[in-house]
Structure 1
């Protein structure tokens, strides 16, 4: 989406969505002064809107962009527009869009970061663990689930970290998104007689999974990843529902598991 490329220029982006956006190469036709004043009065009068109205106005501005959700914010006249895992903010008319961190100056909380964390949370008990590859490190006390691609270098690094940390039960949802070979390796792991042994041998020692054939629940795995908005691997889900996208250092993982143990 084009605002992402623009966002690289700064932490926050304010975009005017005037009529010229339809085609910047064509000048707008002049309007009678009375008509311009009528439009100004109409825009000024609109200070609140329903989520449905915000979505309708946004999609009229940006045809083809699918809005996932629209919500009110704590600030009158400012609305949150979610597109997948991206958050934008708009006025009631969607004449302006803001992309960046929304800060509550009273509490000093980053409301955008808070909301993104909320969106990333997963009910661990609802995960279909029956379609995951189960591995146990040490006594398996701690539990976590990971979306992994067999050709993901960061996933392999994370397994080495898990080996060092120990005492963890890991449920791997095979999520082959990097290449066709990823799909082949995922199938061979899933169809192996000892899934955990073959998976560990590949991730830790580089032993290629032997050819195997069976019915793999690939469609279910991919649908699960899309529903949970997994955009890359590894995506780590902890027992408390919190999530980390990307590999973790041994220190960070040990600290997280220790905090979960204290809270249980």
Structure 2
């Protein structure tokens, strides 16, 4: 009997939580129908809910009349709950990346790992390559992603070279296209499909070995900082 009562109480509390979230959603839909706020969820702070607005983490209460954009910090251990949400929202399953389709480059002991999605004619991708050169003890998997039409032919040709890693460096750093004009099996179309599946619509994209994903030409010191923060 006692077990049944406790189960009933827990279910009741759970339904109240959902009711509060539903109330917030209903208030948003009623009062601000043109405001696209998604993924409303409860937080550790009672009565405050996290959500996404234009890709940013925001917070609101049940009446949905106010939004807070900023960092929610748990005082007991100084942990940023907002950063935790950002990491979770931007994380994929690293184990599902088909690394065989990437060009592999190892520096030092290669202990740390990065996956890069890059277009040879993307100026920010070229900038990122300069920063990647500054990293030590890293294995870099480059998925060539020719989003620009003029990049497709050269990207496919890289895989036909005897040393694809060298051919890629010549292409991305110096704009030198592979000299051997022959056809071969290549993963370019598979890379394009993978990017679409992962929601990668621009280059460069960086994926850390825990699956955390960022976009842009991050400086080497910022990538080092992310490694430290994520404990990688």
Bin for the TM-score computed over the shorter chain:
0.5 to 0.7
Q: What pairs with 1:94-113 in structure 2 (closer than 5 Å)?
A: 94-104=64-74, 107-113=77-83
Q: CA deviation at 1:116?
A: 0.9
Aligned partner of 2:9 in structure 1 is none
In 1, Cα distance between the equivalents of 2:121 and 2:154? 9
Question: How many equivalent residue pairs?
Answer: 211
Q: Does residue 1:132 correspond to 2:105, yes or no?
A: no
Aligned partner of 2:62 in structure 1 is 92
In 2, Cα distance between the equivalents of 1:71 and 1:102? 14
Aligned partner of 1:65 in structure 2 is 36
Report if the CA contact (8 A) 2:121-2:151 is conserved: yes
SS of the residue 2:58 aligns to: strand
Q: What pairs with 1:218-257 in structure 2 (closer than 5 Å)?
A: 218-226=191-199, 230=200, 232-253=202-223
Deviations 1:92-124 (A, max 9, x none): 132333333334456554432332123223332
In 1, Cα distance between the equivalents of 2:218 and 2:145? 18
Aligned partner of 2:176 in structure 1 is 207
In 1, Cα distance between the equivalents of 2:101 and 2:26? 39
Structure 1 residue runs of 5 or longer lacking an equivalent are 1-45
Greater Cα offset, 191-200 or 127-136: 191-200
- Select 2:44's aligned residue among 65, 74, 94: 74
1:166/1:204 CA distance change after superposition, 3 Å: farther
In 1, Cα distance between the equivalents of 2:193 and 2:17? 44
Over the aligned positions, Cα root-mean-square deviation in angstroms equals 3.8
Aligned partner of 1:117 in structure 2 is 87
Aligned partner of 1:43 in structure 2 is none
Structure 2 residue runs of 5 or longer lacking an equivalent are 1-15
TM-score, normalised to structure 2, is 0.67
Q: Does residue 1:172 correspond to 2:142, yes or no?
A: yes
Q: CA deviation at 1:145?
A: 0.7
In 2, Cα distance between the equivalents of 1:175 and 1:126? 17
1:120/1:79 CA distance change after superposition, 3 Å: same
TM-score, normalised to structure 1, is 0.61
In 1, Cα distance between the equivalents of 2:198 and 2:182? 24
Aligned partner of 2:10 in structure 1 is none
Aligned partner of 2:133 in structure 1 is 163
Report if the CA contact (8 A) 2:50-2:57 is conserved: yes
Q: CA deviation at 1:174?
A: 2.9
Aligned partner of 2:115 in structure 1 is 145
In 1, Cα distance between the equivalents of 2:34 and 2:160? 43
